[in-house]
């Protein structure tokens, strides 16, 4: 796939610190050229509407296969409407979640078949794979503690509980082991400054390779 910009995704279990890291990365990297930040599901008008549906706690009857397809629909819209055009313009994209979330949450979390999920990921991304994925690894215990400190209400997926988050974390670590050339694991139990410094080093190294 032809792209001139750089595409970085950030992954991890709920409350692993992705959003904070993205905000801080943008503040640093904007000095070197425009940085576009997106979140998944979301990032376009249609994808944000799909997000509302997916995270609504009233939709507890949503079936795993339907859930997977809704995430894929939001992603397809994001790729064509926003990601491909801005990457073609040479911009740097920071995505708060992308295709690995589907494997971790709908695969290991919900128990859907991974080949099926790989297939729908191929369809919705059109083959657009991140140049680098930063996996913020933290135990579900620490993540839950952070969440409580922030005092935020849980969304539909966050109400799934510890066993679910543990399975999701294991899936992420397995993906990172299988694709070390793309996925870098960062110990997200460290303080924010240390996480930022590690992330910047990894991005700099990958930029040098491109
Ligand atoms: P966020 O809280 O990081 O914004 O993510 C929204 C929730 O959606 C989070 O619990 C993870 C979940 N999710 C999936 O289950 N599958 C996916 O493909 C994506 C992108 C997110």
Task: Report the nearest-CA residue for atom 16 of ligand 1.
Answer: 102
The predicted structure's pLDDT at residue 42: 98
Strand partners, 91: none
| Cα separation, 162 vs 158, whole angstroms | 9
The predicted structure's pLDDT at residue 144: 87
Closest CA to 99 of 130, 69, 77, 70: 130
Ligand 1 centroid to Cα of residue 208, in Å, is: 30
- Taking the mean position of all CA atoms in its chain, how far away is CA 205? 20
Say if pTM beats, i.e. exceeds, 0.75.
yes
Our mutation pick for probing the ligand 1 site, out of 21, 109, 147, 157, counting the most ligand atoms within 8 A of Cβ, is 157
From residue 76, alpha-carbon distances to 86, 138, 173 in Å are 15, 29, 25
The predicted structure's pLDDT at residue 157: 60
The predicted structure's pLDDT at residue 111: 95
Tokens linked to 210:
């491109």
Task: Report the nearest-CA residue for atom 3 of ligand 1.
Answer: 14
Ligand 1 centroid to Cα of residue 206, in Å, is: 25
Which residues of the chain carry a pLDDT beneath 70?
1-3, 154-159, 210
Please, which residues have CB within 8 angstroms of residue 119's CB and are 6 or more apart in sequence? none
Please, which residues have CB within 8 angstroms of residue 145's CB and are 6 or more apart in sequence? none
Ligand 1 centroid to Cα of residue 78, in Å, is: 14
The predicted structure's pLDDT at residue 2: 53
| Cα separation, 77 vs 130, whole angstroms | 17
Task: Report the nearest-CA residue for atom 2 of ligand 1.
Answer: 14
The predicted structure's pLDDT at residue 74: 98
The predicted structure's pLDDT at residue 158: 64
Tokens linked to 34:
């425009």
The predicted structure's pLDDT at residue 75: 98
Give residue ranges with CB within 6 A of ligand 1.
14, 39-41, 71, 96-97, 101-102, 105-106, 157-158
């Amino acid at each position: 796939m032809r792209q001139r910009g750089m595409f970085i995704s950030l992954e991890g279990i709920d409350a692993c610190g992705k959003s904070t890291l993205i905000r801080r990365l943008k503040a640093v990297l904007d000095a070197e050229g425009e940085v576009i930040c997106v979140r998944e599901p979301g990032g376009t008008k249609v994808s944000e509407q799909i997000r509302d549906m997916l995270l609504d706690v009233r939709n507890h009857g949503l079936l795993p296969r339907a859930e997977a397809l809704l995430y894929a629909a939001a992603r397809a819209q994001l790729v064509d409407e926003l990601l491909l055009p801005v990457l073609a313009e040479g911009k740097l994209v920071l995505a708060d979640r992308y295709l690995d979330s589907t494997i971790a949450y709908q695969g290991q979390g919900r128990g859907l078949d991974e080949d099926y999920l790989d297939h729908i990921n191929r369809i919705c991304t059109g083959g657009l794979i991140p140049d680098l994925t930063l996996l913020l690894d933290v135990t579900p215990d620490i993540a839950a503690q952070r969440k409580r400190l922030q005092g935020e209400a849980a969304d539909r997926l966050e109400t799934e509980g510890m066993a679910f988050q543990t399975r999701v974390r294991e899936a992420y670590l397995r993906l990172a082991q299988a694709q070390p050339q793309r996925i870098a694991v960062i110990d997200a139990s460290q303080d924010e400054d240390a996480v930022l410094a590690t992330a910047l080093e990894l991005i700099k190294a990958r930029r040098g390779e491109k």
